[in-house]
Amino acid sequence: MSFFIGVSLKTIGIVTSGGDAPGMNAAIRAVTRIASYRGFKVLGFERGWEGLISNFVRPLTPRSVSGIIQLGGTILHTTRCPRMETPEGMEKAVDCLASNGVDGLVVIGGDGSFRAALALSERTDTLIVGVPATIDNDVAGTDETIGFDTAVNTAVQEIDKIRDTAISHERIFIVEVMGRKRGFLAAMVGLTVGAEIILVPEVPFKAEKVFNTIKDNAAKGKRSAIIVAAEGIGDTKKLALDIEKNTGLETRLSILGYAQRGGSPTARSRYLAGELGNKAVEIISEENGGQVACLQNGVITSIDLKTTCSMEKPLDLRLLKLADILAT
């Protein structure tokens, strides 16, 4: 098959939607340069779905995306856009794609972005392809999302420093990481920092079990501990107070917050951005849409957008068991 497009397809649009993730800029760069190489004109829609509703658009060229591969965030900006969930907003997005002559749209974002992309794909002839980019790593059908590795490494670096203080002062530290609904980030971070306890939304926890684990560890001579908790598990401030009250050990809470979303993407996140961006353009070049570029068992492939949106990605509970054994 020729690497260049036929005359039927001319323009690819790019939108970054939802929460930002390190590597989004690398994905923008990849899509822009691969698409330009294949002969496409490239347009960037600014401020997420609001860009399609309000026609905030600008041309992207191989030169305009120079020097962004190492930058966190997204040069196209992103916002939450409730208007995209209304018939009026959706109609404006459809009209915007038509008026700009967009043959294919690459949506860089997470599961919420893909649900909006699916709804849009049912109302437009524009070929829509997703590129999964979210620190939550919760997009079904792909083993990993752009930005996840960076967020893990950001959290690990900070928790390693907290561990120094925990050991020095013989304290218990709860470290809250992002993850309102899913615990992929907490599980991987907890495993790789050697956390004594990992708490995720998918597995309801009993405070008494947490107290007993800390007491058992103290009896074995471990008078400090790291508890990695996803933000969606409940009130971590109250949990810290309860731990101190029930164990007699000084307990502190550290919330890592939005630092996990920022920063220069790791080599891994940049690599995925390049591969998935290339795959997205390839799908559109073959005049296919309604797909998500993804990583499955080490292979770059694609999955149906509707399938992605209808599934829930399972958390590998084996990681929690492994972390528990390693922390003894």
The strand ranges marked E within 246-325 are 251-255, 291-296, 299-304
For residue range 94-117, list pLDDT tens digits in order. Answer: 999 999 999 999 999 999 999 999
- Give the mean pLDDT of 35-40: 97
**Distance of alpha carbon 324 from its chain centroid, rounded?**
25
Residues 6+ apart with CB under 8 A from 51: 15, 45, 57, 76
For residue range 44-83, list pLDDT tens digits in order. Answer: 999 999 999 999 999 999 999 999 999 999 999 999 899 9
For residue range 255-300, list pLDDT tens digits in order. Answer: 999 999 999 999 999 999 999 999 999 999 999 999 999 999 999 9
CA 231/CA 239 separation, integer angstroms: 12
Please give the full DSSP string across 37-101, using - where no structure is assigned.
Answer: HTT-EEEEESSTHHHHHHT-EEEE-TTTTTT-TT--S-TT-----GGGGSHHHHHHHHHHHHHTT
Quick check: 6 pLDDT over 70?
no
The predicted pLDDT at position 130 comes to 98
Identify whether the C-beta of residue 33 lies closer than 8 Å to the C-beta of residue 49.
no
- Give the mean pLDDT of 148-164: 98
**Is 136 annotated in the active site?**
yes
Q: How confident is the model at residue 2 (pLDDT cuts 50, 70, 90)?
A: very low
Total number of residues shown for the chain = 328
For residue range 208-265, list pLDDT tens digits in order. Answer: 999 999 999 999 999 999 999 999 999 999 999 999 999 999 999 999 999 999 999 9
- The domains located in the chain, with CATH, are 11-147+265-310 (3.40.50.450), 149-261 (3.40.50.460)
Q: Given the residues 20, 103, 111, 136, select the one marked as catalytic.
A: 136
Indicate the average pLDDT of the chain: 96
The predicted pLDDT at position 9 comes to 80
* Residue indicated by tokens 């399609």: 52
Quick check: 328 pLDDT over 90?
no
For residue range 24-37, list pLDDT tens digits in order. Answer: 999 999 999 999 99
